[in-house]
Amino acid sequence: MPNFKSIVSGSWAWWLSGLCLAVFGVAMLWMFDDTPGMSDGMLQMAEFSRRAAEDRSIEQAPPLDWQTGFLGGIFIGALACAFISGKWKFALRPEGGSGGMLAGAGKALLTGFGGGFLVMLGLQMSGDSFFGQWISALQVSSGAWVFMSVFLATAIISSILIARRFGGAK
Amino acid sequence: MMVTKLAALAPLALEGNGRMAAAILMGIAFGIILVKSDFPYSKQVREALTLKNGELSKSFLLSLGIGTLLFYFLYKTGVVTYHVRPAYLWPSILGGIVAGIGMALCMAVPVTVLASLASGKLYALWAILGMILAVPCVRIASEWLSGTIFQWGQKMNDPEHYSEFFSFSNPALWVLMVCAVLVLILQFALSGGSSSGGGSGDSGGDKKKKE
> What is residue A86's three-state secondary structure?
coil
Confidence (pLDDT) at A54? 73
Judging contacts by C-beta atoms under 8 Å, the chain A residues touching residue B162 are: none
ipTM: 0.86
pLDDT tens-digit map of A48-85: 777 777 776 666 666 677 888 898 999 999 999 999 99
Name the residue facing B101 among A149, A158, A169 (closest C-beta). A158
> What is residue A89's three-state secondary structure?
coil
Confidence (pLDDT) at B59? 96
Q: How far apart are CA B20 and CA B15, in angstroms?
A: 8
B193 vs A31, more confident: A31
A116 touches chain B (CB under 8 A): yes
| Residuewise pLDDT in 10s, chain B (211 residues) | 445 545 557 787 777 888 889 999 999 999 999 999 999 999 999 999 999 999 999 999 999 999 999 999 999 888 898 888 888 898 999 999 999 999 999 999 999 999 999 999 999 999 999 998 898 888 777 777 666 666 666 777 777 777 778 888 888 999 999 999 999 999 998 865 544 433 334 444 444 444 3
Q: How far apart are CA A40 and CA B169, in angstroms?
A: 34
Q: How far apart are CA A150 and CA A154, in angstroms?
A: 6
Confidence (pLDDT) at A60? 65
DSSP string, chain B: -HHHHHHH-------HHHHHHHHHHHHHHHHHHHHHHTTT-HHHHHHHHTTSB-HHHHHHHHHHHHHHHHHHHHHHTTSS-------BHHHHHHHHHHHHHHHHHH---HHHHHHHHHTTBTTHHHHHHHHHHHHHHHHHHHHHHHHTGGGSSPBPPPP---S-SS-TT-HHHHHHHHHHHHHHHHHHHSB-S-TTGGG-STTTT------
Confidence (pLDDT) at B107? 93
DSSP state, A139? T
A27 vs A168, more confident: A27
Length reported for chain A: 170
Question: Residue A167's pLDDT band (boundaries 50, 70, 90)?
Answer: low
CA nearest A123 in B: which residue? B95
Q: How far apart are CA B110 and CA A43, in angstroms?
A: 12
Amino acid at B77: T
Nearest Cα to Cα of residue B135 among A92, A123, A3, A164: A123
- What is the distance of C-alpha A101 from the center of its chain? 25
In sequence order, the 6+-apart residues with CB closer than 8 A to the CB of B42 are A94, A95, B106, B107, B108, B116, B121, B202
Confidence (pLDDT) at A74? 94
DSSP state, A63? P
Q: State the count of interchain CB pairs (< 8 A) between A and B.
A: 505
DSSP string, B39-87: TT-HHHHHHHHTTSB-HHHHHHHHHHHHHHHHHHHHHHTTSS-------
Long-range contacts for A102-110 (Cβ within 8 Å, ≥24 apart)? A105/B123, A108/B123, A108/B126, A109/B123, A109/B126
Cβ of B28: how many Cβ atoms within 10 Å? 21
Listed in order, strand segments (DSSP E) in chain A are: none
A5 vs A109, more confident: A109
B76 touches chain A (CB under 8 A): no
Judging contacts by C-beta atoms under 8 Å, the chain B residues touching residue A50 are: 136
Q: How far apart are CA A14 and CA A8, in angstroms?
A: 15
pLDDT tens-digit map of A137-165: 999 999 999 999 999 999 999 999 999 88
Instruction: Answer whether A11 sits within 8 Å of B196, measured CB to CB.
Output: yes
Confidence (pLDDT) at B69? 94
**For testing contact with chain B, the best of A124, A133, A135, A152 (most B CBs within 10 A):** A124
> What is residue A91's three-state secondary structure?
strand
B23 vs A99, more confident: B23
Length reported for chain B: 211
Name the residue facing B202 among A94, A115, A126 (closest C-beta). A94
CA nearest A20 in B: which residue? B33
